[in-house]
Amino acid sequence: MSDSPVLDDRKKKQRYEALVDELYQDVYRYAYWLCKQAPLAQDLVQETFLRAWRSFDSLQNDKAAKAWLFTILRRENARLYERYRPDLVDIEDQSIADSDFNEPDEKLDRRQLHEAIASLDKDYREPLLLQVIGGFSGKEIAEILNLNNNTVMTRLFRARSKLKHIFVASSDTKPKGTGDDTQ
């Protein structure tokens, strides 16, 4: 068989479509958390995949596809939207799927946590979401964000510390219902 790096169009298209199926949800999630608005996130993902398709031949290893797409997405976000958009948390327009949790308390918790994540400074939010959504290691996150590994780990620690602080503080102010006061 040929080892030619040049794929025929059909094979290339199939490979691209498989990539879309596998990664579009995570790329959308990351886009959403990056720009915090569903319509913008959708546009951002389209731009990202358009760019990816146009330079698809440069993707030599499919295992690197996720980091590659996330990197394109960050760049597109900076290029297209960061300068035009006020930094708002459009919590009412969120795309949270809520069919998988029914308890009112759980819904409230998730909403509070959603707001808490969205309110994190971008320096902390980005590495956290790259780890949680992308499943990237500290080293991979460092490469995507162009930071050193120690900085990434410190930001991850601070991101979670801040979330804990915000979440605990907001939980203390909410009415107690079916509490888990087991101690």
Partner 1 sequence: MDDLEFRKRVLENPSEIADDVLSIAQGNSERLQFIAEAKAMEERIHNTAMSVSAPESLAQQLKALSERPIELTSTEKPSIRRYFAIAASMVVAVAITASVGLFNQQPSAADIQLRDDVIRHVYREAPRYESNLQDMDWQEVNKVVAEAGGHLIEGQSIKTMHVKFANGCRIGLDRRGAHIVLEGTQGAVSVFMVKHSPVKKAMSVDDPRFSGKIIPFGEGNLIFVGEKQEPLETYEALITQSFEWEI
Query: Which parts of this chain interact with partner 1 (CB under 8 A)?
Result: 13, 16-17, 20-21, 24-25, 28-29, 32-33, 37, 39-40, 42-43, 45-46, 49-50, 53-54, 79, 84-85, 90, 94-98, 100-101, 109-110, 113-114, 117, 128-129, 131-133, 138, 153-154, 156-157, 160-161, 163-164, 167
- What minimum distance in Å lies between the beta carbon of 115 and partner 1? 10
> Which residue, 1 or 75, has its beta carbon nearer to partner 1?
75
CB 37 → partner 1: shortest distance, Å? 6
Enter the tokens of residue 56: 């698809």
Nearer to partner 1, 148 or 161 (CB): 161
Taking the complex as a whole, how short is the minimal distance between the CB of residue 165 and partner 1, in angstroms?
A: 11
- Taking the complex as a whole, how short is the minimal distance between the CB of residue 25 and partner 1, in angstroms? 5
Q: How far is CA 107 from the centre of its chain?
A: 21
The DSSP-derived string for 15-27 is HHHHHHHHHHHHH
Decide whether 67 or 108 has the Cβ nearer to partner 1. Answer: 108
Q: Please count the other Cβ atoms lying within 10 Å of the Cβ belonging to residue 118.
A: 17
**Nearer to partner 1 (CB atom), residue 64 or residue 137:** 137
Q: Hey, what are 167's tokens?
A: 């979440």
Nearer to partner 1, 50 or 64 (CB): 50
Work out the number of other CB atoms within 10 angstroms of the CB of residue 53: 13
Please identify which residue in the block is written with the tokens 């509070």.
112
Q: How far is the CB of 4 from partner 1 (least distance, A)?
A: 20
Give burial (CB, 10 Å; 0-12/13-18/19+) of 35: buried
Q: Please count the CA atoms within 13 angstroms of the CA of 12 that sit on its side-chain side.
A: 15
In degrees to the nearest 10, what's the CA dihedral of 24, 27, 31, 32? 60
